[in-house]
Structure 1
Amino acid sequence: MTAPQGITPGAGMGAGAARLTPARLAILLGGPTVLALASWIYLGMMIGDMSIIPGMKAMMMPGMMFTPAPLAGLFLMWAVMMAAMMLPTAAPMIMAYARMQALDRARGAGWQPVWMFSGGYVVAWASFSLIAALLQAGLTHLALMSPMTMKAGSGPLAGTILIAAGLYQFTPLKQACLSLCRTPLHFLMTEWRDGNLGALTMGWRHGLFCIGCCWALMALLFVTGVMNTAWILAITLYVLMEKTVPGGKAFSRLAGLALTATGLWVLVG
């Protein structure tokens, strides 16, 4: 796994940047941008009228959560939400990947690998969405979540989720995954694979690292409400800041302290 032939960490990035004309940049971002915008639009429609979620009526009936329609609806809801939230935060990595590939494009290669990279990233989060949907179905089946508000119905469960999310911010796994998300060049130089399949694999692997970084933050939606617009936007903005602002690791630990303290307050309150 090496960087493209003829591209070095310094020269390659510079050469790639020089070839990213406005027209090529539009082509580069076209696929991911359209997918992200479509996801936000459909997510907004679901938030505005949850009856359009497949199987929503069946979710209100006891014992129906693990039937095909509600499970399909929950998976669709989570998959759309994760695409809307996480694709914008992956923009720095997608741009870095395009720059690394610039010399190949100069020799006649197309833009398909950039789209494949983005697709692999979305597929990884879709896999996470399946797990989240199954977990939500299980908690709702056990009457630990409300099918109407889609959030934890008990203080102990909410407090436990908050504390778990807060403590996870301090774990080596969280910090290692965050470091890879914050340093696109390091990820690309160590994980590079050629061709469309290689791009898909790289996007998938970056998505896995991103899940390792953010899964606990997504669990907060079980506390605040899975379709809570304010918290969806807040978590999206926080993840973007955690990945990009200077001092992101310290920022992450401060958030961990706040989440843990809030969880303890919920438990004893």
Structure 2
Amino acid sequence: MKALTRLLPGHGILWLMFFGSVLATWALLVATHVPVAAPHPAADYGLAYLISLCTQSVADAGLPSAVAMWSLMSLAMMAPTAFPAFKTYSDMTYTDAASGTSLVALVAGYLLVWIGFAVPAAYLQVHLADLHFLDAAGKSTSATLNAVLLLLAGSYQFSGLKNACLSACQNPMTFFFSHWQPGHRGALRLGVRLGAVCLGCCWALMLLAFVAGTMNLAFMGLAMVLMTLEKLPQIGNRISAPLGVFLIISGTVVGVLALTELFNGGI
């Protein structure tokens, strides 16, 4: 606790809860890869039940299970990427502009947006599984779909909306000053706005989970690192464009191979 206080002065308990929640979520995601028997419907809806919701194969998972999985993914992957913004807001609590409770409200508003994102993402997963486009690990079995998602994510890296959202994420102090709202409700609305900006920055990269596999922990970790680095101004401006080029080239290669296979199969 003393080490955390030295590294992050102020609100040590809140930061401990924040990082503890992120680590617990990652631990839960790891646990979902260990087969467990689903509890009896009459059993308590505790940790075992939550794990059982996420350990089903993607092909068999219903919408509630998929929403639970995407919510966990969003918390594990996106909360760390917003830490610089949360820390910037925390520094403002040394004045009368904000407080520890408003910091909690800000984080809650941010996470609310990503939990909202989990619903359409889960619906898309269930729909694709029904069409037999996903395997048991949530990985797309369609080369065409993979090519489309890769090209979409790569092209989006160069869009005006992406650049605007990324700029806001890279400059949280400017963002807070531009959209400041006082009080706890204001902090909650500010957190929702921050979450929306983050969503505008990262949604296309998140959809690449269907290419790598929605239950692929390696992809989750790599994507979290890339999205975190992208939000650091000194580093993000150097990797955003190369990442876009890489994704476009990958999508093009996958698309050409899919067309070649289709052409050869028709001969």
Question: Which residue of the other structure, out of 90, 110, 118, is the alignment partner of 2:107?
Answer: 118
Name the residue aligned to 2:81. Answer: 89
The AA in structure 1 aligned to 2:234 is P
Q: After the TM superposition, which of the residue ranges 188-197 and 19-28 deviates more from structure 2? A: 19-28
Question: Which residue of the other structure, out of 69, 74, 77, is the alignment partner of 1:77?
Answer: 69
Could you tell me the percent identity over the aligned residues? 34
Give 4+ residue runs of structure 1 displaced > 4 Å after superposition. 19-23, 55-61
- For CA contacts below 8 A with separation 6 or more, give which structure has more relative contact order: 1
The alpha-carbon distance between structure 1 residues 234 and 22, as it changes in their structure 2 partners (threshold 3 A), is closer
Aligned residues: CA RMSD: 2.3
Q: Is the 8 A contact 1:116 1:203 kept in 2?
A: yes
For the residues of structure 1 that align with 2:201 and 2:225, how far apart are their CA atoms?
A: 15
The yes-or-no answer on 1:46 pairing with 2:45 is: no
Name the residue aligned to 1:131. Answer: 120
For the residues of structure 2 that align with 1:224 and 1:58, how far apart are their CA atoms?
A: 15
For the residues of structure 1 that align with 2:164 and 2:8, how far apart are their CA atoms?
A: 34
User: 1:258-269 alignment to 2 at 5 Å?
Assistant: 258-269=246-257
The yes-or-no answer on 1:230 pairing with 2:200 is: no
Q: Is the 8 A contact 1:160 1:263 kept in 2?
A: yes
Aligned length: 240
For the residues of structure 1 that align with 2:232 and 2:54, how far apart are their CA atoms?
A: 38
For the residues of structure 2 that align with 1:24 and 1:266, how far apart are their CA atoms?
A: 49
Q: What 5-or-longer segments of structure 2 have no aligned partner?
A: 38-50, 258-267
Name the residue aligned to 2:197. Answer: 209
Return the offset for 1:26.
1.1
For the residues of structure 2 that align with 1:129 and 1:144, how far apart are their CA atoms?
A: 19
So what's the TM-score if we normalise by structure 1? Answer: 0.83
The AA in structure 2 aligned to 1:112 is T
The alpha-carbon distance between structure 1 residues 72 and 218, as it changes in their structure 2 partners (threshold 3 A), is same
The yes-or-no answer on 1:197 pairing with 2:185 is: yes
Return the offset for 1:35.
2.0
User: 1:1-80 alignment to 2 at 5 Å?
Assistant: 24-49=10-35, 52-54=51-53, 60=59, 70-80=62-72
So what's the TM-score if we normalise by structure 2? Answer: 0.83
User: 1:157-176 alignment to 2 at 5 Å?
Assistant: 157-176=145-164
Q: What 5-or-longer segments of structure 1 have no aligned partner?
A: 1-18
